[in-house]
Amino acid sequence: MTKQNEIRITALLAPLIFLLHVAEEAPGFVDWFNSLVRPEITPSIFYSVTAAGFVITLIVSGVLAATQERGAATLMLAWLGFLMLANAIFHLVATVVHARYCPGVVTAAFFYLPYFAWFFSLSVRRLSVSPLIAVGAVLVGAAPMAVHGYLIVFRGARLF
Q: What is the DSSP string of the chain?
A: --HHHHHHHHHHHHHHHHHHHHHHHTTTHHHHHHTT-SS---HHHHHHHHHHHHHHHHHHHHHHHHH--HHHHHHHHHHHIIIIIIHHHHHHHHHHHHTS--TTHHHIIIIIHHHHHHHHHHHHHTS---HHHHHHHHHHHHHHHHHHHHIIIIIS----
Confidence of residue 145 (pLDDT cuts 50, 70, 90): very high
pLDDT digits (tens, 9 = 90+) for 66-88: 999 999 999 999 999 999 999 99
Average pLDDT over residues 50-79: 98
Predicted TM-score (pTM) of this structure: 0.96
Average confidence (pLDDT) over 91-109: 98
Instruction: Specify the pLDDT at position 138.
Output: 98
